[in-house]
Amino acid sequence: MTRAYNFSAGPATLPESVLQQAQAEMLEWHGAGASIVELSHRGPEFLQVAQEAEADLRRLMSIPDDYAVLFLQGGATGQQALIPLNIATPGQKADYVLTGHWGKTAIKQAKPYVDVNIAASSEAGGYRDIPARETWQLSDDAAYVHVTANETIHGVEFRDIPDVGDVPLVADFSSSIVSEPLDVSRFGVIYAGAQKNLGPVGVSVVIIRRDLLERAGQPRADIFTYASHVAKESMLNTPPTWNWYLAGLVFKWMLAQGGVDAFAELNRRKSGLLYDVIDNSGGFYRNEVDPAARSRMNVPFFLKDESLDKPFLAEAREAGLISLKGHRALGGMRASIYNAMPEAGVEALASFMRDFQQRKG
């Protein structure tokens, strides 16, 4: 097989040109005498890579100066523990809006540290919508309000930024960061594992409003302290240099493609194409999410006849379309179509789905 269209939810497909550049530079980076993965994080070569990556991400996302940007290890789940440790006092109330699997994970990590109030939840309905803002039961004195901007497994996405007043809004953007323009100033903390829209797994981006760094938080190790990471420009300990480098190449690729405006339009078209196939299949395919909350990044769908699941996956693979199996929590299928998934890949999948239905429906 040559390179297939890979619909994996994360780790996910990367731009082919980025992989080609990483391949070309694997044994030596820009005349440095060594690979970027072998060079000191404190040397001029990696410092250049690191600084350019931050500057490019700031440009891509129009991040205001009063926000710090961190490149850290630990994944989004790690941040879900660090956030209460850093911006809530022990046992303080924190509001969580639960709209899927990853919101549940966030709550699990926070519970040892804060009094979690589930301000709203779509769990009873199987995580198929976003509870309307006016139904949320926010606390008076919460340290923060936490939302999951896009639920990767359930395919449910916030399509606007909820107003939570002066309480900092904290959002897990792991699967939708840089997929469209975003008003960063509406958030206290934005965090994201890189392995969906930003690059390779092994580095996470944390965008934090600087005043929150002054909160006392809870007793914790220095390595768990955002302010310490900010003071050392994400080099409090040795950072995951290759992962950071590869994310930086993705940022440059995004800027060259026209930035988030271009990807917003592309992602609208790509997801629209798949939802159209599903909605026009007369029930052969089905997506159960409220259309107003459907994810542009992850399109979960089910075949009416489950006995066709295996042939669907096998024939898709034959057609060069891989990683379409749904998460084990839901079953069915899932097409993850982040920025790096070309429109041609989605067109090939849409065409395969129509053809499969014609032959089996």
Considering the complex, state which of residue 131 and residue 193 has its C-beta at the smaller distance from a second copy. 193
11/361 with CB nearer a second copy: 11
CB of 106 or CB of 260, closer to a second copy: 106
For the chain, how long is the longest CA-to-CA vector?
A: 62
Q: With helix as H, strand as E and coil as C, how does 155-206 read?
A: CEECCCCCCCCCCCEEEECCCCCCCCCCCHHHCCEEEEECCCCCCCCCCEEE
| Amino acid occupying residue 194 | A
Sites of contact with a second copy (CB under 8 A): 1-4, 6, 8-14, 16, 19-20, 22-23, 26-28, 31-35, 37-41, 43, 73-78, 80-81, 108-110, 112-113, 193, 195, 200-203, 219-224, 236-243, 246, 320, 322-323
CA proximity to 151, closest of 135, 127, 186, 118: 127
In whole angstroms, the minimum distance from the beta carbon of 109 to a second copy comes to 4
Dihedral sign, Cα of residue 262, residue 73, residue 295, residue 87: negative
Q: Which residue has the tokens 């004195």?
A: 141
CB nearer to a second copy: pick between 110 and 207 = 110
HSE at residue 47, side-chain half, CA atoms within 13 A, is 5
Indicate the annotated binding residues. 42, 76-77, 102, 152, 172, 195, 237-238
Decide the pairing of beta strands 169-172 and 145-148: parallel
Task: Report the nearest approach of a second copy to the CB of residue 65 (Å).
Answer: 29
Q: How far is the CB of 24 from a second copy (least distance, A)?
A: 8
Cα–Cα distances in angstroms (integers) from residue 356 to residues 65, 269, 273, 284, in the given order: 51, 22, 16, 10
Q: What is the nearest approach in angstroms of a second copy to the Cβ of residue 265?
A: 24
Measured CA to CA, the distance from residue 164 to residue 174 in angstroms comes to 21
Q: From the annotation, which residues make up the binding site for L-glutamate?
A: 42
- Residues labelled catalytic: 102, 172, 196
Kindly report the number of other CB atoms within 10 A of residue 217's CB atom.
24
Residue 225, amino acid? T
- Known binding residues for pyridoxal 5'-phosphate are 76-77, 102, 152, 172, 195, 237-238
Closer CB to a second copy, 2 or 358, in the complex: 2
**Which residues make Cβ contacts (< 8 Å) with residue 9, sequence separation at least 6?**
152, 153, 175, 196, 298, 323, 327, 334, 336
How far apart are CB 235 and a second copy at their closest, in Å? Answer: 11
